[in-house]
Structure 1
Amino acid sequence: MAERPDVQRLQFDDFPGRTLSVLLFKDVTNSKELREQVVRGALVPECGLANAALVPDLFVLQVAAHNALLAQSREALKTRSLHSELVFNLSGSRQISVSLDRNGINATCQHVLAARFDATPDEEAAMQQLVAGSPLPLADLGQLVDQQLLCKYLKVSKEELQVGSLADAVLLRIAARDC
């Protein structure tokens, strides 16, 4: 089966054979239902659903995914699943519930990143059917970011943005969280 044009598969040098299939949606209309499924653990297929407005670029997602795989390899997941660990790792917060509430899908989320580790083509198709929204190429991710909200959550100053990008600020917080 050919790769879907709106699915991107990320690979990890440190974890050969592991992939992360990622889909981006805008104008999502079923966020509330998806959030309820996530909370109940009833999402099929299991995947990480993140608020795309808080992910400034694809590299941030790749770093969060790498950290989730690393935690799994060390048997040190802080959350219940690899996919929730991915969403948790998108935040600079050590508080799991805060991270999942902010960076995960919520009832009013309009833009969603859906991601599944080691997805089969059938699972990718099922993921695409889960989210009622318009698929976008991942290259458009940066256009959906709510910079003001992200700066508020991460306490990014104007001075910090003068010397680096918002993605740099997010990556710094992700990296510094476990220090």
Structure 2
Amino acid sequence: MATVETLYLPHYPDYPIYISFFKNVSNAPFLRQQLLEANTAFEYAFLDATMILSPRHLYAATFRALNDAVHTRLKSRNIHSELVFSLSPNNNIADAYRRFGIQDSTTSLLAVKIPLSNHDITAESVSKHLGGAVEGESVAFGEEALAGVTDLKALRKVYKLDSGNKGGGGKKGKKGAEVVVNGNGVGSGKDERAEMEGVILGIMALKGT
């Protein structure tokens, strides 16, 4: 059995969202192949957890995917692929999967299940399925778990955050917004992550507007 967090977003209390986090995953190629083969038993958003900065980062993408599904505005195949797409700063779905989705090399994995109208899917059924399908260590999802695996350098690159090269200055983001994170180029722990989070959530919100 896997540890599963059940999330209800305030605007959509009728839609449970099931989240599981795994470390030391050893069968990512198998899991990725199930997605490529469109195996209905594996209808999840499988995310490389190194590309998730915080729970709020994931929740923002989840809200956008669920909101678009409810209003029939999906740009991808289903709500799970839409969640992956919602994390991306651009409108390239293939790039979103390459940057945020599970890869053969993935060892830290987030699995998100949004059953929408299928009320037979429960936290218990998700826990049982993932517990048998994922070869890895199931751990509680949260700030602490992510802090140990997030690749801050990769996130800065993907979201085009200015790492603060000597001389300062910002980088122009979407719609001319200036994006500057940690202007002195030196890591500052929780403050840096909080600053990055604010900018990343803003970039995600602007996409497609």
Counting aligned pairs with the same residue, the percent is 24
Q: What amino acid is aligned across from residue 81 of structure 1 in structure 2?
A: N
Larger radius of gyration: 2
Deviations 1:95-143 (A, max 9, x none): 0110012111011111110010144121332023221111122121222
Q: Which consecutive residues of structure 1, in runs of 5 or more, have no partner in the other structure?
A: none
> Of 30, 36, 47, which aligns to 1:33?
30
Counterpart residue number, 2:206: 176
Distance in 2 (CA, whole Å) between partners of 1:137 and 1:73 is 28
Displacement of 1:166 in angstroms is: 2.2
TM-score scaled by structure 2? 0.78
Contact 1:55-1:142 within 8 A present in 2 as well: no
Distance in 2 (CA, whole Å) between partners of 1:52 and 1:105 is 9
Counterpart residue number, 1:158: 163
Deviations 1:15-43 (A, max 9, x none): 12111110111111111111111111115
Q: What amino acid is aligned across from residue 45 of structure 2 in structure 1?
A: G
TM-score scaled by structure 1? 0.91
Aligned ranges 1:45-84 → 2 under 5 Å:
45-84=42-81
Distance in 2 (CA, whole Å) between partners of 1:38 and 1:45 is 7
Q: Which consecutive residues of structure 2, in runs of 5 or more, have no partner in the other structure?
A: 116-120, 165-179, 184-193
> Of 20, 25, 30, which aligns to 1:23?
20
Displacement of 1:13 in angstroms is: 1.3
Once superposed, what is the RMSD of the aligned Cα atoms? 1.8
Q: Which structure: greater helix fraction? A: 1
Higher relative contact order (CA 8 A, sep 6+): 1
